[in-house]
Structure 1
Amino acid sequence: MRVGLHWSVLVIVALVTVALANGRFPDAHPGHSAVAYWSLAVLTAVVFLISLLAHELAHAVVARRNAVQVEGITLWMLGGAARLRGEAPSPAAEMRIAGVGPLTSLLAGAVLAGAAVGLHTLHASGLVVEAVAWLAAINVLLAVFNALPAAPLDGGRLLRAYLWHRTGDRLRATSGASAAGRALGWFMVLIGFADVLFAGDLSGLWPALIGWFLIAAATAEARQAQIQGALDGVQVSRVMTRDPVTVQGTATLSDFLAEGPFGAYRHSAFPVVAADGSVAGLVTVRRVNAEAPQARTHTTVSDVMYPLGEVVTAAPEDPVLDLLPRLQENSTHRALVLDHGRLVGILAVADITRALAWPTPAAHPRHDGTRWHRPAA
């Protein structure tokens, strides 16, 4: 499992360090050296990041135990995120995956609080006790905030699991949790700006910033759920462009350019075939354009193409939903559709976008084995 650090992590480390070294530590325990304050502040900020990582690792471990693939974890300025590939198979699994995060933070807070009491009993340095107590409090605060019933927080996942269990409709449940997330976000934005405007407290910008993040994330999550609902059960063969125009790998770039954009080559990416007719890769206009004009007369398409091993491939019967993340991650944003090695189509993110733009006919309720629900598409 890959663990990444966004550059904004440096911002939160710096803010926590400065706030503790210049504020909380010297105010609570004056008389220590600046080196002591700053060293302990840096250490406390690092332990705080470790507690965030533990929160996300708990999500990832439980997700894997519930048959949900985990791509990795990214820590950033406002916390962390475990990148899950796919959805929980049931409301109960969703509840377990979402609930373990706040529980982990709450447990960490309780352990750290006990450690602070123990250190105080043993007459340890008051400055150290203060740092451990702060870590305990921030972890409890993290647990409480994440438990709020609003997407994309863990509490929003719990709310979605409950609504999913009650209605049997995952899309409707996601819409409800996203609406709660936007409501909480706007509340925090208003409270934050009111604090700045009427009380003159610039710290109100923090809840406003977090609220704005919640609004954006909840809106994006609702949109993602709509896409998943619309593409549920749709196969690649229904969306792909069939029998795409191909380019011979032996053709020079000059010959290729002579055929476009008003000739045979009207698109911006083309499958490349070898002399025996097999698929060799994919060439894009951008790759061709990057080649120096004076070299195009003797440079072949094969020289600048993406080899087949670097291109996303799919079968006609593959679900579009499973293919979409791979398309978004790949630099070409396209997939070659192969049927037992034979090229039958090409699929781009734009093809899926066009398909989503079409209105869907009204669907009739169907039974999913446990509850009746109305499919999104």
Structure 2
Amino acid sequence: MKGTLALGRIAGVRVGVHWSVLVILVLVTLALAQGRLPDNHPGYSAAAYWGVALVTAVVFLASLLAHELAHAVVARRNHVEVEDITLWMLGGVARLRDEASSPRAELRIAGVGPLTSAVLGALFVGLFLWLDRLSVPRLLAEAVGWLAAVNVLLAVFNSLPAAPLDGGRLLRAFLWWRSGDRLKAALGATAAGRFVGWLLVLLGFASVLLGGDLSGLWLALIGWFMIVTATEEGQQAQLRSTLSGVPVRQVMTPHPATVPATATVEDFLAHLPTGHYRHTAFPVLASADLDGAPVGLVSVTQIDRVPADRRATTTLGDIMSPLADVATALPDTPVVKLLPLLESGAGRRALVISPTTGSLLGIVSRSDISRTVSWLTAGAAHQP
């Protein structure tokens, strides 16, 4: 997700915050500081309302992070690699590199999220009841009560049997167990997600138009997000099914044009426009030796950012994305395992490396995968 600030690693998982988190932070703080807190407990200073509201909003975001971390931890225990966790305006998302190997694993990974929110809700309820017996400011108890309610609400909402919610994955696990068909199960969860999404959109607009409640726009936004994300999940499921069993070697572009790390930007541009450099990203080798091991990837965008007066002294090695930031694969790696790496890797491309010599064998882009899918789909359509 673009515009994400990395926070580091928790339990070995990369965690980031999207800039849109500021939106939810501001909305929650405003709603509490100018609404719920002064309405229910008048008489405190403005600083007290704003201070308690801000801390409550931060704890709420921490609750969302705990929900996603629970998914990540259980996924790793079920041998599913976790790409990262990102908090954003509509909550959080844990990106998984692989799919669960069985309906039971899918059930565990999906179910732990709502369970975590429910446990947090119960803990906040207990804390609220304890604070209620003590001589503490009622403002603090009110904030804890709000956190209890919102975590219980998250647990209930996420349990709805509709993609992309956790309940949708629970539904997918059940349908997968019943039918034995992973794709059919995924499409069933997608259909449920689209239905619930459109229902939320209609309810949201009805609330605005008939009741004058502007908060209905938020409900409509959540519904639209569900529609879009559920549709994408269905498309990804179909894509994975089509590419099942296809190795990277059948998809890659072999012997791609390469550039040496020692070449200057000026040298590179001097060869344009030629057929040799018609692509927009190039594997970078340590030297001009065509059989060398790649050390990175450089894109036309990175080259274009170099000021004209520095192109004669700036080498491609200076501006390239290092190999550690580039997706790599072996020729026999299943393409479905490469898909999530392409989304997060530099240049949205993967370099195919020889398992014996470490030399470059090919490159894979999204267009390579799209072309392969088109051929596979066309071939399947003509089978008797």
Classify the TM-score, shorter chain.
0.7 to 0.9
**Residue 8 of structure 1 pairs with residue 20 of structure 2:** yes
Tell me by how many angstroms 1:55 deviates.
Answer: 1.4
**Residue 352 of structure 1 pairs with residue 364 of structure 2:** no
Tell me by how many angstroms 1:261 deviates.
Answer: 3.9
* TM-score for both structures, normalised by structure 2: 0.84
1:54 aligns to what? 66
1:1-377 aligned within 5 A: 1-246=13-258, 260-271=272-283, 274-277=287-290, 278-281=292-295, 282=297, 284-286=299-301, 311-339=326-354, 340-358=357-375, 359-362=377-380
2:6 aligns to what? none
2:5 aligns to what? none
Change (3 A) 1:276 1:172: same
Greater shift in the superposed pair: 342-351 or 273-282: 273-282
Give me the whole-angstrom Cα distance separating, in 2, the residues matched to 1:287 and 1:7. Answer: 24
Change (3 A) 1:129 1:360: same
Give me the whole-angstrom Cα distance separating, in 1, the residues matched to 2:161 and 2:123. Answer: 25
Tell me by how many angstroms 1:212 deviates.
Answer: 0.8
Change (3 A) 1:57 1:346: closer
Give me the whole-angstrom Cα distance separating, in 2, the residues matched to 1:252 and 1:286. Answer: 15
- Size of the aligned set, in residue pairs, is 363
Give me the whole-angstrom Cα distance separating, in 2, the residues matched to 1:227 and 1:288. Answer: 33
Greater shift in the superposed pair: 254-263 or 89-98: 254-263
What code does the residue aligned with 1:234 have?
V
Unaligned 5+ runs, structure 2: 1-12
Give me the whole-angstrom Cα distance separating, in 1, the residues matched to 2:121 and 2:54. Answer: 19
Give me the whole-angstrom Cα distance separating, in 2, the residues matched to 1:128 and 1:311. Answer: 48
Deviation readout 1:125-171 (Å, 9 max, x if unpaired): 32222222111111111111011001111111100000111111111
Deviation readout 1:275-295 (Å, 9 max, x if unpaired): 544245555555555556687
Tell me by how many angstroms 1:265 deviates.
Answer: 4.0
8 Å CA contact 2:294, 2:359 repeated in 1: no
Tell me by how many angstroms 1:44 deviates.
Answer: 1.6
Change (3 A) 1:8 1:254: closer
Deviation readout 1:207-257 (Å, 9 max, x if unpaired): 111111111111111111122112221111111123334556777767755
Tell me by how many angstroms 1:314 deviates.
Answer: 2.8
Give me the whole-angstrom Cα distance separating, in 2, the residues matched to 1:78 and 1:287. Answer: 32
* TM-score for both structures, normalised by structure 1: 0.85
What code does the residue aligned with 2:373 have?
L
1:367 aligns to what? none
What code does the residue aligned with 1:319 have?
P
Q: Secondary structure at the match of 1:86?
A: coil
Deviation readout 1:169-192 (Å, 9 max, x if unpaired): 111111111111111110010111
Change (3 A) 1:115 1:163: same
Give me the whole-angstrom Cα distance separating, in 1, the residues matched to 2:35 and 2:312. Answer: 68
8 Å CA contact 2:197, 2:227 repeated in 1: yes
8 Å CA contact 1:271, 1:279 repeated in 2: no
Larger radius of gyration: 1
Tell me by how many angstroms 1:15 deviates.
Answer: 1.4
8 Å CA contact 2:183, 2:241 repeated in 1: yes
Give me the whole-angstrom Cα distance separating, in 1, the residues matched to 2:267 and 2:35. Answer: 69
Give me the whole-angstrom Cα distance separating, in 2, the residues matched to 1:295 and 1:130. Answer: 60
User: Alignment identity in percent?
Assistant: 61
Tell me by how many angstroms 1:321 deviates.
Answer: 2.0
8 Å CA contact 2:29, 2:57 repeated in 1: yes
8 Å CA contact 1:313, 1:335 repeated in 2: yes
Change (3 A) 1:102 1:251: closer
Give RMSD over aligned pairs.
2.8
8 Å CA contact 1:280, 1:307 repeated in 2: no
Unaligned 5+ runs, structure 1: 364-377
Change (3 A) 1:285 1:39: closer
